[in-house]
Amino acid sequence: MARFALAAFVAIRLWAQDQSVCQEDVDDVMSCGNLVDISNITHEIQDVFKASRDLRDHFWPAPWRVSLFDEKEQYHNALVDIHPLIIDPCATPFKLTKIRRRGPELLDAVIWTLRHFCWRACRRAAEERCGQTSEENECENSKNWHQLEAVNLDIEGATVTMPGLDMDESYELTVSVASELHAKSIHGFRRGMETLLQIFDALRSDGSKKGATWSWAPGVLDGKVLTLRINDDARFPWRGILLDTARHFIPVEVITSLLWAMAANKLNVLHWHLTDAVSFPLELDSLPKLAELGALSQTYSKAMVKQLIEQAANLSIRIVPELDMPAHTASWIFGEPSSVSNCTHVLPDDPKEAKNIYKARDKLALDISSPRSREVAKMVLAEVAALFPDEFLHVGGDEVDYRCWTTMPHIRKWMKKHGFGPLEALQDFFDEIWAEVQKHGKRPVIWEDSFDQGLRLPIGAVVQPWKCWGNVSLRFQPKAPPAMLGHASAFVAVKKNLSVVQSSCWYLDWSSEWMDFYEHAADEGPLQNEPSKRLLGGEAALWSERMDFSNLACRAWPRSAALAERLWSNTSVGFAAQAQRHPKVDQRLRLHTRRLQRLHKLPLRPLRPEDGKAMEIQDDFEHLETTCPLLPSQAIQRNPRSAEWASVIAKWSGPGPLRLTSGGRRRRFANANAARQRSARGGRGRCDVGHLWPSLELDV
C-alpha cells in the first residue's frame, strides 16, 4: 500500500445499506474496499468460458479509437507473449484529487458511480488474485509483470446536469501502470467507467497468476511497457429502448434492472410507453379515476416514477414518457366516459384479433368532438410534463382507425359542421395537443403513421418510424433503390426539417435474431447517402402484449446490445458485412453477453418460480423462439407481488439501493434543465424546450 503513496488515507466502511458517504470523510484516494461491502457480494454465477486474449474482443459497444503503444511505436496487429497488467478490481485506488477540487456535487455523483462500478467489479472478490501477498505469487516481483497502481479521475465540468439530448458522453481512457479517465462531463465519465469495467473484468488478475499471456493488451512486452488509450464518443445522441408497461405491468424492480443493463450497453433513453387501450396504470392527482378504474392490474405512483427518474439520471439515462392518443385510449373510458368514442362495433380486420378481447379494444379512440376529451388530454399532458424532466413528450398518433369517428353519428355531425374530413379532424386535435406540449416546454414526438398520412407537425417535433416492410421509391432520390416504409418516412421527415428517432426493424416482440438487429441501422436507406444531424438515433421496442416481467430480459438481450453498438460505434455496415471484415463480431457479443450474465445477473431464460436455470450462464441465445418464447396469450397476467414470484424477482434486482448524501443530508438538483431552455422560432410560434424540475434527488 505504501508504494501507492496513499497519504492520509481514511478508511470508510459502508457495511450497512443505511449508511452513507459524508463529504468530510471522503479521502482523495479510494478503492472498492472502501466503497462497498465486498463480503456481501455473491458469487453464485460462475463462467468457465475460455475468453479471448485480445482485449479488443472484450469491448462492447466497440470504442471509436483504440490504440496500444510504447515509447517508440504503436501496435495494430495482434502480438504474442504480452504480460498483461496485474489488476485487482477491489483494491485498485481511484484518485479523486481533481474531482474534489471541482466541488461537492460532482464528488457525490462520482462516488455513486464508483460504487455502482465496484458492485460489479468485485463480483470476483472471492477468487484468487495475483498480487495479494508476496508469498502467494511470484509474478509481482518479476520485471515482466506490472501492476495497475492507481486510476486518476478527472471531469472538466463541476456541474452535475440532468441527462439530455445534448449531453457530452465523450471520454478518454488511458490504461497503464498509472491510468487516467478524463471526461468533459459526468455523463462521459460514466460511459468511460463502463469501458474500464470491461477492461478490469477481462484482465482480472486470476489470469495473470496462471502466467497467461495476451496477444493484445496493456502490460509488458519484452521489457517494454505497453499503454492502452481509448478515445470514445457516441455516434448518435438518442440510443434507447421502448418499454410498454400497459399491456403487462412491469414492477419497478424489473425496470430498474433494465436500466442497469442499458447503462452497461451505453444506452441512454428509456422510452416509457405508459398508457394504451388495455390499461392506464399511471396515477394522476388531477384525474385519479383514470388509473383507479382504467388500470388492468397494478399502478405506478408518482413516488415510483420519481424513483425511476432519479435512478436513470444517476446512470445518465433519460426517461421519455409516452401517452398514446387519440387511438389506443379504450382504458380512458372507465374513468372519463365522455372522453372516448365507444366504437365497439369497429373491430380489427384480422378475424383472430377481432375475437381477442385485448386487440378488439385497440380501435377505440378519443372523441374529438367532445370538449371534455380535449380537456382531459390536456390535463394528463400537463401533469405528466411536470412529472418527467426530459425535454421530449411522446403523444402517440399511431394506428388511428377513422371509422371510430366516421361511423359515430354525433362525431360525423361535428366533422361536417366544421368541414373536416378524417385527416383534418386529426390535424385539429393534434394542433391543440402540440400547443399544450409546447406550453410546458416540451418537444412532441409522434409515430410515423399520422405523419405518413400528411399530418403537419410543428417545429421541433420528432417522428418515430417503425415499419419494417414495403418498397417505396422517393422522388428526392429517383436513382436510389426502393426503401422500406420506415426508412423512407425518416428521409421525408428529415427533408421537412423534422427530427427522427428510428425503430424500424428493431421490435423485440418479433422473433428476429440478434444478427438481424445488427444488420439494420438508424441511417439505413436514403439517409445513408444523405446523412443528417436531424436523425437523432434509434430505439428497440419492448412491446408487452406477450411479454411480462418473466421473459422481458431474455427478449431484450442480447438483441438490444446489437442495437447499442450500431448506435454508439462507428459501424457503417451490418452483420453480414461485419462478419466478412471482422469475423470476431459474433465472439465479441458472446463475451459481452456472458459478462452481462455474470456481473448483472441478467437472465437469458424466462424466469420461473423455484427455478434457478434462468440465472445460469447460457451460451445459446440465437434460437429465440425456443430459448425465450413469447407468452402464449396476453390473457396471462401474472402478479409480480405474489409469493411465488416476489422471491424470483428479488434475485434479479441489481445492486440494490446505492445511497448518496452530502454531509448526511439529501442533495437536490436545482433547476436541472435550465441551461437547456431554448426557443424555436417561426412556423407555429415559440417552442420552449427543457422542463425545469427543481427537486431531483440523488438518494435512491
CA 82 to chain centre: 36
Please, are residues 539 and 269 in contact by the beta-carbon 8 Å criterion?
yes
Backbone angles phi, psi at 286, to 5 degrees: -75, -25
User: From the centroid of its chain, how far is CA 127?
Assistant: 31
Provide the angle, in degrees to the nearest 10, between the axes of the packed helices 252-264 and 302-314. Answer: 20
DSSP helix/strand/coil, 118: helix
Q: Which pTM value belongs to this model?
A: 0.88
Give bridge partners of residue 244 from the DSSP assignment: 273
Mean pLDDT of 665-672: 31
User: In this predicted structure, which of 10-19, 206-215, 674-683 has the lowest mean pLDDT?
Assistant: 10-19
Q: What is the per-residue pLDDT across 369-386, written as a single tens digit (0 to 9) for each?
A: 999 999 999 999 999 999
Furthest-apart CA pair in the chain: how many Å? Answer: 91
Over range 14-22, report the average pLDDT: 32
Whether 207 and 217 have beta carbons less than 8 Å apart is answered as: no
Dump pLDDT digits (tens) for 290-310. 999 999 999 999 999 999 999
Report residue 653's pLDDT band, with 50, 70 and 90 as the boundaries. low
Locus of grid cell 361511423: 407
The string of DSSP letters for 477-518 reads STTSPPB-HHHHHHHHHHHTT-EEEE-TT-BTTS---HHHHH
pLDDT band at 582 (very low <50, low <70, confident <90, very high): low
Instruction: Output phi, psi for 654, to 5 deg.
Output: 70, -160
Please give the Cα distance from 542 to 534 (Å, whole number). Answer: 24
Using pLDDT thresholds of 50, 70 and 90, give the confidence band for residue 687: very low
- In angstroms, the Cα distances linking 660 to 112, 578, 613 are 6, 42, 34
The strand pair at 224-232 and 219-221 is best described as: antiparallel
Say what percent of the chain tops pLDDT 70. Answer: 80
Residue 595 in this model has a pLDDT that exceeds 80: yes
Residue 124: band (very low, low, confident or very high) from pLDDT cuts 50, 70, 90? low
CB 140 within 8 A of CB 147: yes
Q: What's the CA gap between 360 and 350, in Å, rounded?
A: 10
696 DSSP β-pair partners: 669
Among the residue ranges 85-99, 279-293, 363-377, 677-691, the one predicted with the least confidence is 677-691
> Poorest-confidence range of 4-13, 37-46, 262-271, 608-617?
4-13
Average pLDDT, the chain: 83
d(CA 669, CA 655): 23
- Residue 92 has which C-alpha cell? 485498485
Residue 47: predicted pLDDT: 52
Tell me which of 322 and 104 has the higher pLDDT: 322
Q: CA 537 to CA 236: how far, in whole Å?
A: 5
CA distance 316 to 265: 12
| Residue 268, pLDDT above cutoff 60 | yes
pLDDT-based confidence at 674, cuts 50/70/90?
very low
Highest mean pLDDT among 29-38, 48-57, 149-158: 149-158
Reported residue count of the chain is: 700
Confidence bin at 656 (pLDDT 50/70/90): low
CA distance 45 to 49: 12
- pLDDT score of 471: 87
**SS3 track for 124-191:** HCCCCCCCCCCCCCCHHHCCCCCECCEEEEEECCCCCCCCCCCCCCCEEEEECCEEEEEECCHHHHHH
Helices (H) and strands (E) in the chain, counts: 23, 22
Q: What is the mean pLDDT of residues 10-30?
A: 43
